[in-house]
Amino acid sequence: MVHRPPLHGQRTHVEFIDIKEQYRRYKSEIDERIQRVLTHGHFIMGPEVGELEQALAKYVRVKHCITVSSGTASLEIALRALGVGPGDEVITVPFTWISSAEVVGLVGARPVFVDIEPATYNINVDRIEAAITPRTKALLPISLFGQMPDYSRINEIAARHNLPVIEDAAQSFGATQNGSWSCGVTAIGSAAHSAPTSRPIAYSASTATAPPAALSSVSASW
């Protein structure tokens, strides 16, 4: 039997995600910018929104970034922008935050689940093609725990079937794959501000992508 010394009532409290620490680290810059907003009074769509959108687009190397109210909203808007609606199918995974499948239902379409790989928890790319039907309107893979699925293969499959790919990058903002940045690897990328499992480099991001020639954009919520 292993002998464990008594803890003497001491407990270590480890927070799941410590947003306060991020604030402490950048306190003076954050305080200064918030003060500036309070001073100019443009609380809705003020100049900081455009500044943030430009900074995010530059960071993930895409042409456009549109900020919206949440990662969930950015996914829903991406689907609507692609014309996905009742009678359509969207291929996604069953292992993710609920939003990824929820938004498909919200626009009246049906989520079609492709299982994940046990080693990465990402979509099993080998199984995507078998799930494509004439009703499939988009692929919605998830980049989970900071890790992206193989987007070169996913984009190849999508191109073969003339389907747009939306990357839900709520948990992978700051990740790269073959030199490309998460949120910038598909037609639309979507990112959210506080997914706890995202990389600490920033907040989390989910991206939705449109067919490469049409638009390269990031929709993000911060």
Residues that bind ligand PLP (CB under 6 A): 70-72, 96-97, 99-100, 142, 168, 170-171, 192, 195, 206, 221
Minimum CB–partner distance for residue 97 and ligand PLP (Å): 3
Nearer to ligand PLP, 70 or 155 (CB): 70
CA distance 56 to 181: 11
* Angle at 125 (CA atoms; ends 153, 70), nearest 5 degrees: 90
Minimum CB–partner distance for residue 124 and ligand PLP (Å): 17
Minimum CB–partner distance for residue 54 and ligand PLP (Å): 21
Nearer to ligand PLP, 57 or 78 (CB): 78
Nearer to ligand PLP, 176 or 197 (CB): 197
For tokens 């009678």, name the residue: 87
CA distance 219 to 6: 51
Minimum CB–partner distance for residue 213 and ligand PLP (Å): 26
Helices (H) and strands (E) in the chain, counts: 6, 10
CA distance 25 to 74: 28
Nearer to ligand PLP, 9 or 105 (CB): 105
In the bound state, the residue with its beta carbon closest to ligand PLP is: 71
Say how far residue 133 (Cα) sits from the centre of its chain: 25
**Which residues partner with 166 through β-bridges?**
188
Minimum CB–partner distance for residue 46 and ligand PLP (Å): 21
